[in-house]
Structure 1
Amino acid sequence: MLPDVGQESRRSPPNHSTKAGPTPVPVPSTHPLYMLYTSGSTSRPKAVTRDTGGYLTALRWAAEKVFGVRAGDVFWTDSHPGWVMGHSFTVYGALVTGATTVVYEGSPVDTPDPSAFPRIIAEYGVSVLFTTPMTLRRIRAASPEDRPFGSGGSPLRAVFLASERVEPELMDWTGPFFGCPVVDNWWQTETGWPIASNCLGLGLLPVKPGSVARPLPGYRVEILDEDGRPLPPGEQGHVTIPLPLPPGCLTTLWNDDERFAETYLKNFPGHYDTSDAGHLDEDGYLSRAAPTTSILMYSLVDRLWRNAKKAAGIVFCSAGLSKGVPVTDMAEWLGHRAPTSPTRPTSTSCPTPPTVSGP
Structure 2
Amino acid sequence: MKVFVTGGAGYIGSHTLVQLLAAGHEVCVFDNYCNSSPAALARVRQLTNRDLTAIDGDIRDADALTRALADFAPDAVIHFAGLKAVGESNAMPLAYYQTNVTGTMNLLAAMDAAECRRIVFSSSATVYGEARYLPFDEDHPVAPTNPYGRTKAMAEGVIADWATATPAASAVLLRYFNPVGAHESGRIGEDPQGIPNNLMPFVAQVAVGRRDKLAIFGDDYETRDGTGERDYIHVVDLAAAHLAAIGYAARAEGCQAINVGTGQGITVKELVAAYERACGHPIAYEVAPRRPGDVASSYAATDKAERLLQWRTALDVDAMCASSWRWQSENPDGYPGGAED
Which bracket does the TM-score occupy, shorter chain normalised? 0.3 to 0.5
Give the alignment's TM-score, normalised by structure 1: 0.36
* Largest Rg, 1 or 2: 1
Structure with more helix by fraction: 2
Which structure would you say has the larger RCO, counting Cα contacts within 8 Å and 6 or more residues apart? Answer: 2
